[in-house]
Structure 1
Amino acid sequence: MDRRNFLKHLAGLSALAASGAWLGCATPTTAASRRLPLQVGASTESPTLARTPVALIAATDRRQATEEALALLDITLRGKRVFVQPTLHSAQPPPYSTHTHILATLARHARSRECTDLVVATRHPHHSTAALFRAKQLPTMARELGFDLLALDELPSHQWRHVRPEHSAWEQGFALPRQVMDADVYLQLTTALSEAEPPHLRMALHGARGLLGVRIPGSEHNLDEELTGCDDPIPRQLELVEARTPDLILLDAIDVAASESSGERCGVFVAGLDPLAVDAVGLALLRRYQPAKATAEHAIFEHPLLQAAASRGSLIASAREIEFLTDKASAPLAEELRARLGV
């Protein structure tokens, strides 16, 4: 069974939540162990359609929201090598970087589940990643909580893997860090953010850019320049996603940028297994605050990035495959998002 069908099989288990069973990848627990009373969205078109779960959590406390998300979409971490990628567009607060409360809560959770290795890593394409780590005080957190902190722009060449998919849009393939390729579990921490330049959205599908090596080992060809200089970066970006798709994505939409100079308190935390599903929900959330921006020019799944991702066959193909898991407070929002998604 390939990864997509496997995740859809897991998503099909979401119907069990309504009868008091637990949704996730590990051993079921009783309904009493959940912190949230779940409401599972029903399909009026095709009750048997395979679904991928997306949890909506109404929250302003990021520690609690992270704990709730990890409880709803639990995955086995014991004895696993865990790779965590935070968002680090800058050292500014969310949505421009992952809040330290989320990362600390996740690190404590992973250690309490007895993972064997815990690596936190990313790369900024234009600035020193280590300097941004220091501005966020992540080296101190790493020492206190016991994880390895890697600035991927400082990683030596032998720590990179050359990936060359068949019929690749990349001229010579691309490079990803050994640590994420060898990890048993890849957790992505993202935020709800859009930008003026294509492909516009900077959420789960965009996060793979933070794993891209500057060069393929043994080559002088600059991958950053190829990605930013090509006519259409989307196919290359999606190849990065497919080479190592996250196993769980946590999307912090508690605060979103309403404009370049102002923000809004959205008060929503999102968790999902499929990066396209998470980005579709994130885009629907953004449209509540950015109706005049480029994010609103198309129907959700007609957005160029999401449309291209859906057409490749490795992720969900439509909004009808998204199954919302909600608490009572966020159930009305789930209904609004279904309408925005066209289901």
Structure 2
Amino acid sequence: MDVFERMMNRRRCVKTMLALGAGLLAGVRPVRGAEPPPRARVAVVRTGDRAKGVEQALAQFDLTDFKGKSVALKANYNSADPFPASTHPDTLLALALALKGAGAGPMTLVERSGMGDTGSVLRKMGAYRVAETAGFEVVVMDGLGEDGFVRETPPGTHWKRGFLLERHFAEADKVVQTCCLKTHQFGGHFTMSLKNAVGAIAKYDPGNGYNYMSELHSSPLQRTLIAEISQAFRNDLIVMDGMSAFVDGGPHRGTEVSINAIIAGTDPVAVDAVGVAILRMYGTTPEVGKGRVFDQEQLRRAAQAGIGASGARDIELVPVGAEAPDFVKRIRKELNA
């Protein structure tokens, strides 16, 4: 190839690039058939049967990738108060058995209670009985040493020193959580999957005694800090037990309403947005009812950090059960409001 031909090839290349750039600036549409960005799939089951509802919700997701994988479980055992303050034993059992049925490998429930001795809370709430029945291990975070945690400092975090994530959640092949549907009177505004991850980090640093919970609860950015934990806390599967909910008060007690719903997904922002929409449908606190759903600080910060859905348009709602379609329409109306 001579010099002249090489120059012509370069000129043609430059012209092509300029033409493509001009087309983009002019608003040329993407090639037909290009894949749209994936939407966050959220299953919404309407049922009076908790265990069946969990089973139906999980049937909407492909669990084959759990086969042979180690699983870290996170439930909601902040206090020794019954559901919806804490995970219902039937929910935990149904979830664990479904994972076992999918061929999951060793499973470990890891917990830290914020309002009581964790071991006592787990015993009173029946978690140890479920573990024996379903065949998984239980780890109490109280008293774990430095080797029980992994230090996490997510990019752009507002945590002053980052935080310590319990090691199972950092190293397991899969992380699965089940949360409740309720408001939070101590600054969180609501406590669902994003807030549930607070129980996966250390209360204080075993090495130097620094108290992460004091930082969290005294910060004007409390809801932002809550959201940022999920930059390090994976969510391969989430089951929200919405058979009933606290529409005010919380997390340990409040006004309880019957909802008869099980919500499941893999995107914590989408799952929590659906939860907020449901609370609004039943009349909730001024904080949770204020503004658009995605203006809630937990959701807004989580979306900014790339943790999950950034708006209602990113959520695909999947109704399950005869009463679910109408219920989902009401949820969609709240999400779009």
| TM-score for the superposition, normalised by structure 2 | 0.83
Match of 2:316 among 301, 319, 323: 323
The aligned counterpart of 1:334 is: 328
Following TM superposition, by how much is the alpha carbon of 1:197 offset from its aligned partner in structure 2, in angstroms? 3.1
Q: 1:165 to 1:259 in 2, by over 3 A?
A: closer
* Conserved 8 A contact 2:73-2:108: yes
Following TM superposition, by how much is the alpha carbon of 1:291 offset from its aligned partner in structure 2, in angstroms? 4.1
Match of 2:245 among 256, 261, 265: 256
The aligned counterpart of 1:66 is: 54
Match of 1:103 among 92, 101, 105: 92
- Distance (whole Å) between structure 2 residues aligned to residue 156 and residue 72 of structure 1: 39
- Distance (whole Å) between structure 2 residues aligned to residue 256 and residue 215 of structure 1: 30
**Residue 239 (1) aligns with residue 232 (2):** no
Match of 1:118 among 104, 107, 119: 107
The aligned counterpart of 2:126 is: 137
The aligned counterpart of 1:23 is: none
- When structure 1 is superposed on structure 2, of 311-320 and 267-276 the one drifting more is 311-320
**Residue 160 (1) aligns with residue 149 (2):** yes
**Residue 285 (1) aligns with residue 278 (2):** yes
The aligned counterpart of 1:54 is: 42
Name stretches of at least 5 consecutive residues in structure 2 with no aligned partner. 1-34
The aligned counterpart of 2:183 is: 194
* Conserved 8 A contact 2:248-2:284: no
Cα deviation, 1:164-213, whole Å, max 9, x if unaligned, reads 23443222221011111111111110111112332311001101100111
* Conserved 8 A contact 2:248-2:285: no
- Distance (whole Å) between structure 1 residues aligned to residue 285 and residue 162 of structure 2: 37
**Residue 80 (1) aligns with residue 73 (2):** no
The aligned counterpart of 1:228 is: 217
* Conserved 8 A contact 1:189-1:251: yes
Q: 1:114 to 1:163 in 2, by over 3 A?
A: same
- Distance (whole Å) between structure 1 residues aligned to residue 194 and residue 93 of structure 2: 23
The aligned counterpart of 1:35 is: none
The aligned counterpart of 2:301 is: 308
Report SS of the residue matched to 1:243. coil
Cα deviation, 1:116-135, whole Å, max 9, x if unaligned, reads 21101121123111110010
- Distance (whole Å) between structure 1 residues aligned to residue 285 and residue 229 of structure 2: 30
Report SS of the residue matched to 1:315. coil
- Distance (whole Å) between structure 2 residues aligned to residue 166 and residue 50 of structure 1: 24
Following TM superposition, by how much is the alpha carbon of 1:217 offset from its aligned partner in structure 2, in angstroms? 4.6
Q: 1:126 to 1:262 in 2, by over 3 A?
A: closer
Report SS of the residue matched to 2:98. helix
Match of 1:298 among 291, 308, 311: 291
Following TM superposition, by how much is the alpha carbon of 1:336 offset from its aligned partner in structure 2, in angstroms? 1.1
* CA root-mean-square deviation: 1.9
- Distance (whole Å) between structure 1 residues aligned to residue 238 and residue 207 of structure 2: 32
Following TM superposition, by how much is the alpha carbon of 1:244 offset from its aligned partner in structure 2, in angstroms? 1.6
Report SS of the residue matched to 1:139. helix
**Residue 275 (1) aligns with residue 264 (2):** no
Following TM superposition, by how much is the alpha carbon of 1:240 offset from its aligned partner in structure 2, in angstroms? 1.1
- When structure 1 is superposed on structure 2, of 181-190 and 192-201 the one drifting more is 192-201
Following TM superposition, by how much is the alpha carbon of 1:156 offset from its aligned partner in structure 2, in angstroms? 2.9
Amino acid aligned to 1:74: D
Following TM superposition, by how much is the alpha carbon of 1:235 offset from its aligned partner in structure 2, in angstroms? 3.0
Report SS of the residue matched to 2:190. coil
Cα deviation, 1:84-141, whole Å, max 9, x if unaligned, reads 1111232222211111001111222222333221101121123111110010122222
* Conserved 8 A contact 1:88-1:132: yes
Name stretches of at least 5 consecutive residues in structure 1 with no aligned partner. 1-46
